[in-house]
């Protein structure tokens, strides 16, 4: 353990002033963080998938909620589940950032015309696609719901956040598949840095536990076929055989330090650096050397203007697939070199499963929690580390580490990579 | 027949659209009940399930209140 120097703080730093999450590990950031620290997987037998005949009936579901009761009459019927998840996480984040008053949605105390929204999603309204396609084939075109389009479109989460909050700044949806949540934070940071928006509500949302998605991921060999949910998601373990599908959302409030301080909001974290890259290699597989992911991480560290040796923790993409975890290890070796032994790595997907387009945002939040508390969560189910994965992976129990900066990396299908470097607020 | 149809609409609006039963009356506009044009199309799909009557776009153009919709269904049934 080494003491790491505090970063200098500047008024034009882009900071996070609010965080919200709903994940299989819990409702809210505190519950999610607590669940991840416990190191106990949330993967469980999934009755709905089993009843639908899915080839894999194990998933990580978010805690149950009543969308109509929490989000207003008609929310269940009019909005897909991924938008529900985005709205619930958004409310927590805007509340923490002090952006709302009595109304849980309407923005308060900021110029709503200068508030942007950038939400990542890999699939969008997957449940809507599945249910309406079933109606089309069973009952014909005259029975398809007119709400199919606004429910299904992947931009509905960002659009609905604007409708609810009144945010009339740039409103974007980013899809870099499993990197979308991190890419959204990168784009949002750039909107603030360029002066295009004062505040951006950013993150990722996904609800892709559908029969067709499970079937296709299973056909690819990407899903774990381990029949025991308790040990199915096991990043970096020698017996890992694929990921477990999860769902959820993570949302952060992004603004400049000067803007936050002017309105009395506390900077929780600084988005010190963002990096993006493409593998330019294959539709689903990473290159063996993880070169694309390494580029994204190097760019994020360079963007942060810090030495890689200041980074003491990596929240890994760590999907628990054989290919990903090796490629990510090689990427880290190339980025950190001899400093790699000082980087404590974890994959929170052992607990949460893979949240696809929400993963990068949720994991940035969790990396931020680790930084703020000096505590790295254990990787669930890591009982025998793959000897080819020469990383210091936290396992068993949380590891106390003095941290000056942390990095989180995400790698999406299509070879789209994103990395975020966070320092203290 | 009108009373039966009002009961059908009340049931659909409460069960499928979450409208409190005491808000539904023959005079109530769909707008006041919180339904927009897309919701009204959804309502006609549910109505078709219950009554076998399908209202078309030309019917819906003139429908503002629950009674308007009841009248259109009766026209179709006649």
Cβ-based neighbours of A251, under 8 Å, separated by 6 or more: A19, A20, A21, A86, A89, A90, A92, A93, A119, A201, A202, A203, A205, A361
Share of chain B above pLDDT 70, in %: 96
Look up the CATH number of the domain holding residue B71: 1.10.1200.10
Domains and CATH numbers, chain A: 14-262 (3.40.47.10), 274-424 (3.40.47.10)
Looking at residue B1, what is its pLDDT? 53
B40-53 residue pLDDT tens: 999 999 999 888 99
Tell me the pLDDT of chain B averaged across its residues: 90
Tell me which residue range forms the domain holding B22.
Answer: 2-77
Q: What band does B56 get if pLDDT is binned at 50, 70 and 90?
A: confident
| Ordered per-residue pLDDT tens for chain A, 425 residues | 444 445 689 999 999 999 999 999 999 999 999 999 999 999 999 999 999 999 999 999 999 999 999 999 889 999 999 999 999 999 999 999 999 999 999 999 999 999 999 999 999 999 999 999 999 999 999 999 999 999 999 999 999 999 999 999 999 999 999 999 999 999 999 999 999 999 999 999 999 999 999 999 999 999 999 999 999 999 999 999 999 999 999 999 999 999 999 999 999 999 999 999 999 999 999 999 999 999 999 999 999 999 999 999 999 999 999 999 999 999 999 999 999 999 999 999 999 999 999 999 999 999 999 999 999 999 999 999 999 999 999 999 999 999 999 999 999 999 999 999 999 99
Distance from CA of B39 to the nearest CA of A (A): 8
Tokens of A337: 């070199």
What's CA B74's distance to the chain center, in Å? 12
Cα dihedral across residues A296, A283, A46, A120: positive or negative: positive
Distance from CA of A309 to the nearest CA of B (A): 56
Best of B13, B16, B39 to disrupt the A interface by mutation (most A CBs within 10 Å)? B39
Cβ-based neighbours of A89, under 8 Å, separated by 6 or more: A20, A21, A22, A203, A205, A248, A249, A250, A251
Looking at residue A125, what is its pLDDT? 98
| Closest-approach residue (CA) in chain B for A148 | B38
Among B27, B36, B39, B57, the one annotated catalytic: B36
User: Among partner residues A73, A147, A150, which is closest to B18 by beta-carbon distance?
Assistant: A73
Looking at residue B59, what is its pLDDT? 87
Distance CA A114, CA A335 (A): 37
| pTM of this structure | 0.95
Q: How far apart are the first and last CA of chain B?
A: 11
Q: β-pairing, A199-206 with A248-256?
A: antiparallel
Cα dihedral across residues A6, A10, A15, A17: positive or negative: positive
Q: How far is CA A134 from CA A51, A53, A277, A291, B39, in A?
A: 16, 15, 37, 41, 20
Distance CA A379, CA A298 (A): 24
Q: What is the ipTM of this complex?
A: 0.84
Give the Cβ contact number of residue A135 at 10 Å.
16
Domain total for chain B? 1
Looking at residue A7, what is its pLDDT? 66
Among A314, A317, A369, A395, the one annotated catalytic: A317
CB A180 within 8 A of CB A174: yes
Distance CA B34, CA B5 (A): 20
Looking at residue A4, what is its pLDDT? 46
Nearest to A370 by CA among A95, A63, A50, A34: A34
Tokens of A400: 């106390």
Biggest CA-to-CA distance, chain B: 30
CB A292 within 8 A of CB A240: no
């Amino acid at each position: 353990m080494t003491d790491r120097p505090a970063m200098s703080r500047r008024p034009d730093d882009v900071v996070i002033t609010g965080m919200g999450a709903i994940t299989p590990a819990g409702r809210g950031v505190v519950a999610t963080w607590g669940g991840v620290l416990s190191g106990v997987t949330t993967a469980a037998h999934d009755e709905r998938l089993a009843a639908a005949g899915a080839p894999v009936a194990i998933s990580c579901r978010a805690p149950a909620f009543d969308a109509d009761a929490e989000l207003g009459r008609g929310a269940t019927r009019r909005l897909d589940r991924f938008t529900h998840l985005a709205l619930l996480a958004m409310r927590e984040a805007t509340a923490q950032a002090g952006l709302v008053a009595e109304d849980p949605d309407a923005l308060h105390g900021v110029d709503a015309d200068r508030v942007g929204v950038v939400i990542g999603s890999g699939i969008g309204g997957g449940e809507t696609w599945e249910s309406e396609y079933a109606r089309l084939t069973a009952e014909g075109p005259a029975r398809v719901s007119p709400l199919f389009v606004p429910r299904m479109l992947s931009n509905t989460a960002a659009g609905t956040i604007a409708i609810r909050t009144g945010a009339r700044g740039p409103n974007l949806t980013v899809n870099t598949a499993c990197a979308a949540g991190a890419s959204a934070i990168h784009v949002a940071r750039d909107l603030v840095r360029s002066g295009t928006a004062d505040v951006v509500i950013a993150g990722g949302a996904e609800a892709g536990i559908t029969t067709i998605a499970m079937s296709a991921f299973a056909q690819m060999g990407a899903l774990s076929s381990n029949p025991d949910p308790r040990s199915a998601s096991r990043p970096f373990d020698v017996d890992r055989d694929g990921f477990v599908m999860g769902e959820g959302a993570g949302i952060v409030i992004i603004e400049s330090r000067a803007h936050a301080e002017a309105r009395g909001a506390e900077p929780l974290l600084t988005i010190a650096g963002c990096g993006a890259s493409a593998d330019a290699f294959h539709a689903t597989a990473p290159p063996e050397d993880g070169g694309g992911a390494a580029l994204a991480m190097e760019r994020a560290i360079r963007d942060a203007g810090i030495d890689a040796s200041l980074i003491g923790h990596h929240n890994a993409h760590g999907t628990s697939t054989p290919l990903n975890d090796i490629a990510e290890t090689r990427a880290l070796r190339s980025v950190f070199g001899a400093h790699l032994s000082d980087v404590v790595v974890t994959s929170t997907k052992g607990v949460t499963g893979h949240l696809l387009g929400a993963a990068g945002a949720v994991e940035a939040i969790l990396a931020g929690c680790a930084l703020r508390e000096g505590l790295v969560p254990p990787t669930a189910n890591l009982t025998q580390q793959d000897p080819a994965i020469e990383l210091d992976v936290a396992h068993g129990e949380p590891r106390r580490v003095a941290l000056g900066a942390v990095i989180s990396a995400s790698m999406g299908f299509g070879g789209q990579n994103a990395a975020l470097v966070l320092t203290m607020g | 027949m009108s009373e039966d149809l009002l009961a059908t609409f009340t049931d659909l609006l409460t069960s499928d659209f979450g409208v409190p039963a005491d808000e539904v009356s023959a005079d109530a506009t769909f707008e006041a009940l919180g339904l927009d044009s897309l919701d009204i199309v959804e309502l006609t799909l549910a109505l078709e399930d219950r009554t076998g009557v399908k209202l078309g776009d030309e019917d819906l153009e003139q429908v503002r209140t629950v009674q308007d919709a009841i009248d259109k269904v009766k026209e179709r049934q006649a």
